[in-house]
Structure 1
């Protein structure tokens, strides 16, 4: 009988230990959210061109739109962990490719309209657009020299100044239409429209920005004029303007590799020339995140 009672006590102790273990596991599971569960209920859609796509010279990282894991929308999504994320941005896109004209890509054929990713359930939209609409690089390269130390004096060329002014003229009505369409499709969404600029600072450098200091300042002013239009369109539509250019001062393509957020005409990284590099993409994500957090705080008041 004693042996039987001791055996029963041992069995009971094992059962108690097992129950305790199960309770601990259950509590741990409740405290630690599942990796696949979203941290937020946001429905996030990223629209735009290559500044959003984050293209790389490493082809195996690219799709037909040049979207990469280093792009700021991907980094925002990793931070936000939304319930739904659709990365619709595509390198080379113009406003028309978001709203009414399917974009033709070199390797992937026609792309669907980016705006088709936006629905009434969309709660967050980020956009980088406009550089291809105004063909800003075509204006900039009018100032580039073939030899170090030369000065094209594009700033004093009437044709270049007229071309710069004319390139900006259609941007505002295009942005007004885009933002109006987005408002109609996603009336509850927080919309964040990014500035352009930052690639060229107030001076040139060979060979990254092969222009005289005076011509580089002309290019920088041209991009400032572009951002004035983007900012005004954002204000008119009641969306959030994200001033990436202002934060980019001191991080242009002429800065040392560890400090610059952009590649120049000659790239020193795996990012494409005249595009943000991974430092820039990471910085952009942080800037967007701060703006998003501000709006989230306002929304819950």
Structure 2
């Protein structure tokens, strides 16, 4: 074979090798990474104001306070699901998900949140429980009107009894909620969030207007609530998203940009005693990390 013929053969072989390489790279790119979200997800977000992300600027037309800054909207932006239903509504209790239509701030009766869940649903996030236990009423019993004052709610038998009694119905309500969701959406991965950690181990008038000792009482109450939520998630076999543990050092008494919650006086456009936009972004990231772990399990 002449030198020219050998050169032509080598060039033809190089072109074939390059073509095969391109085909392989395209094929590999088409295979989703184990930790990547799937665009075919049918995502439903349930819950109360901690999911809705209400703002002092405005509520949506339905009166539920659902905003673009909420963690479900941020998850949707990251996940880009095929289907998304944002059913959460400020003020919701478990009964508003399962049993009784909720009257929104606009005066309209909201459909049951569970109606958004079908057998096609593949992903559910939930924040619920704070309104069921009336946690703000317990916290407010510790608030003072003057800086440096101490209500000593931690030592008040009525407040301690009210705190204990408020938590009693939470576990059976969560058990029924999670069981119902599993029946309605057998293919769905369910992610249940803890209540979080609005109050830390000290007060800061007027944002958290309590003594340090009473702030610790409120924090312990939050911890007990979070443990009940964790136990319900474990019993049902759903994923518990531990916002509370991650919130340590981000309570309402921390500086702007560090704190994830507003206190009894808000320093942002977020409502008092609610997560702010920094917190919503942090919560979305915590949910996303847990969702990615579940995606990895699917491909094993």
Mark yes or no: TM-score above 0.5.
yes
User: Distance in 1 between the 2:138 and 2:117 partners?
Assistant: 33
Taking structure 1 as reference, are residues 197 and 39 closer, same or farther at Cα in structure 2, changes over 3 Å only? closer
Structure 1 moving runs of 4+ over 2 Å? 60-63
Uncovered stretches (5+) of structure 2, i.e. residues with no partner: 1-25, 31-36
User: Distance in 2 between the 1:74 and 1:108 partners?
Assistant: 24
Match of 2:260 in 1: 261
Would you say 1:146 and 2:156 are equivalent positions? no
Following superposition, the deviation at residue 258 of structure 1 comes to 1.3
SS of residue matched to 1:106: coil
Taking structure 1 as reference, are residues 267 and 62 closer, same or farther at Cα in structure 2, changes over 3 Å only? farther
* Deviation digits for residues 45-88 of structure 1 (CA, Å, limit 9, x no counterpart): 00000000000001166641000000000000000000000000
SS of residue matched to 1:105: coil
Q: Residues 262 and 280 of structure 1 are in contact (CA less than 8 Å); yes or no, is this contact kept in structure 2?
A: yes
Would you say 1:222 and 2:221 are equivalent positions? yes
Uncovered stretches (5+) of structure 1, i.e. residues with no partner: 1-26, 32-37
Following superposition, the deviation at residue 106 of structure 1 comes to 2.1
Match of 2:163 in 1: 164
TM-score, length of structure 1 as denominator length: 0.86
Match of 1:5 in 2: none
Q: Residues 52 and 64 of structure 2 are in contact (CA less than 8 Å); yes or no, is this contact kept in structure 1?
A: yes
Would you say 1:69 and 2:77 are equivalent positions? no
Taking structure 1 as reference, are residues 217 and 81 closer, same or farther at Cα in structure 2, changes over 3 Å only? same
User: Distance in 2 between the 1:62 and 1:157 partners?
Assistant: 42
Match of 1:194 in 2: 193
Taking structure 1 as reference, are residues 134 and 166 closer, same or farther at Cα in structure 2, changes over 3 Å only? same
* Deviation digits for residues 246-282 of structure 1 (CA, Å, limit 9, x no counterpart): 0000000000001000000000000000000000000
Following superposition, the deviation at residue 197 of structure 1 comes to 2.8
Following superposition, the deviation at residue 143 of structure 1 comes to 0.3
Q: Residues 59 and 66 of structure 2 are in contact (CA less than 8 Å); yes or no, is this contact kept in structure 1?
A: no
TM-score, length of structure 2 as denominator length: 0.87
Match of 1:50 in 2: 49
Following superposition, the deviation at residue 290 of structure 1 comes to 0.2
Taking structure 1 as reference, are residues 95 and 52 closer, same or farther at Cα in structure 2, changes over 3 Å only? same
User: How many residues align structurally?
Assistant: 267
* Deviation digits for residues 185-244 of structure 1 (CA, Å, limit 9, x no counterpart): 001100000000311000000100000000000000001000111000000000000000
Q: Residues 59 and 65 of structure 2 are in contact (CA less than 8 Å); yes or no, is this contact kept in structure 1?
A: no
